[in-house]
């Protein structure tokens, strides 16, 4: 876009709007905030930009053209943009030609074939069924909450009709076998009663 004197005031106003936007509090990095503010201002002035300069504010490439035009005003008037620090690539000089390459970082090494864990510390697979013993505290809508002998509470899901057929009620002391199921939809492990132990 070629700048004309009459356009300078319009672009200065747009640059001012971008600077005002940049002063709002945000947790985003400055470069991301600058891009978002430019997009916000461009879209707010979309109609005028299209009528006057045939610039389509919805397109990123067109907004880049606008950013180039606003750059001088933005650098002059937005102190926050001065904090941008783009790391430049290391410039190689003729004297670096014969320099040895940087040493590789040392790799972690361990003894080959470490000794096996002692038998007492080897863990196996979890059992298929677990046993819970305690007092029924709450019984409702297919769920049972037990106060275990250890003092912990355990929530267990009851199969349909299990509580009725076994005549379970609040306050009963029970010993139940249950299994642990992974429920993909719920994203959690659920305890499900398998049977009543004697």
Residue 139 forms part of a structural domain: yes
b/e sequence 130-146, b meaning 16+ C-beta within 10 Å = eebebebeebeeeebbb
What pLDDT does 158 receive? 86
**Is the domain of 79 the same as that of 138?**
no
In tens, the pLDDT along 79-99 reads 777 666 554 455 555 655 666
Range of the domain at 162: 130-196
- The Cα–Cα gap between 152 and 85 comes to 56
Residue 64 has pLDDT above 60, yes or no: yes
pTM: 0.40
3-state secondary structure of 163: helix
Q: Which CATH number fits the domain that encloses residue 192? A: 2.40.50.140
In tens, the pLDDT along 4-63 reads 445 678 888 888 888 888 888 777 787 788 888 889 999 998 998 888 888 888 888 888
Please give the backbone phi and psi of residue 44, each rounded to the nearest 5 degrees, phi first: -70, -30
First-to-last C-alpha distance (Å) of the chain: 88
Residue 154 forms part of a structural domain: yes
In tens, the pLDDT along 99-133 reads 677 777 777 666 666 677 777 666 667 778 888 89
What pLDDT does 123 receive? 67
Quote the number of domains for the chain. 2
Residue 187 forms part of a structural domain: yes
Residue 116 forms part of a structural domain: no
């Amino acid at each position: 876009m070629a700048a004309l004197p009459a356009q300078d005031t319009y672009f200065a106003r747009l640059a001012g709007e971008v600077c005002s936007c940049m002063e709002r509090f945000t947790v985003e990095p400055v470069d991301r905030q600058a891009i978002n503010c430019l997009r916000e201002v461009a879209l707010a002035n979309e109609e005028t930009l299209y009528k006057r300069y045939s610039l389509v504010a919805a397109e990123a490439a067109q907004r880049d053209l606008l950013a180039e035009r606003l750059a001088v005003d933005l650098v002059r008037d937005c102190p926050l943009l001065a904090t941008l620090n783009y790391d430049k690539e290391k410039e190689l000089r003729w004297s670096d030609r014969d320099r040895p390459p940087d040493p590789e970082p040392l790799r972690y090494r361990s003894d080959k074939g470490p000794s096996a864990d002692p038998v007492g510390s080897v863990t196996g697979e979890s059992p298929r069924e677990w046993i819970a013993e305690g007092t029924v505290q709450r019984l409702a809508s297919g769920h049972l909450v037990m106060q275990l002998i250890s003092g912990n509470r355990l929530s267990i899901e009851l199969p349909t009709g299990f509580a009725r057929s076994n005549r379970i009620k609040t306050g009963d002391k029970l010993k139940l076998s249950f299994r642990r199921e992974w429920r993909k939809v719920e994203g959690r492990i659920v305890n499900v009663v398998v049977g009543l132990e004697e």
